[in-house]
Amino acid sequence: MIRYLSIMDLLALQDVTRWHMVRTGRDQTVADHSWAVTVLALRMAEELVAPLTVDERADLMVYALLHDIHEIETGDLPTPAKTTLEEAGLGHAIRALEEAFWQNRGVPFPTWGSWGRISTLVAAADKMEAALFYKREGPDPIIKVHLFAGMVRHMTETFPEETRLIALVQGAFNG
């Protein structure tokens, strides 16, 4: 999928700022976030009972790096906005924005090999990264607790049998 993106597309993630609705100690770009999601997803994959194949690991890295690439056109979509859209029955609008990004480049919306496992791990790493970034850089203890609780709830619902993975996530936040 990377070959369908221009060099400028790939570098533009450095210019998209996250957390614009919430005060943090430093700015974070989507590029910073995507790199962190990638390394967290790879680390989380090491704790799975059923290890990823070599092809799945490659798909995981590419997808984690590019999971928010559409935000070079849309800007960062804050979680509260996404939640509001989903609760209003308009969650498909988010997917449509992502699909439009790829269509604008003449490419069908990508699937990442074993999409289910890969997208699940990246979604979990995405939540973990947000909670850990705000733990380090956010001033509001209520938001910290909310992000941590959401991350743990997501992990325990998504990976109920993966006790090592859940321990890793909890340890990262408590450590």
How many whole angstroms separate alpha carbon 75 and alpha carbon 97?
11
The full set of domains in the chain, from first to last, is 2-174 (1.10.3210.10)
Q: What is the pLDDT of residues 95-148, one digit of tens each?
A: 899 899 999 999 888 876 557 889 899 999 999 999 999 999 999 999 999 888
| pLDDT of 165 above 90 | no
What is residue 72's predicted lDDT score, i.e. its pLDDT? 95
The first and second tokens of residue 130, run together, are 């947000």
| Percent of the chain surpassing pLDDT 90 | 61
| pLDDT of 67 above 80 | yes
What is residue 125's predicted lDDT score, i.e. its pLDDT? 95
What is residue 94's predicted lDDT score, i.e. its pLDDT? 87
**DSSP notation for 143-174:** HHHHHHHHHHHHHHHH-TT-HHHHHHHHHHHH
Q: What is the pLDDT of residues 91-105, one digit of tens each?
A: 899 889 989 999 999
What is residue 78's predicted lDDT score, i.e. its pLDDT? 85
Please report which confidence band the pLDDT of residue 170 belongs to, taking 50, 70 and 90 as the band edges: confident
| pLDDT of 169 above 90 | no
41 versus 114: which is more confidently predicted?
41
How many whole angstroms separate alpha carbon 98 and alpha carbon 74?
9
Q: Tell me how many degrees the CA angle 156-139-28 measures, rounded to the nearest 5.
A: 75
What is residue 113's predicted lDDT score, i.e. its pLDDT? 54
Residue type, 141: P
pTM above 0.85, yes or no: yes
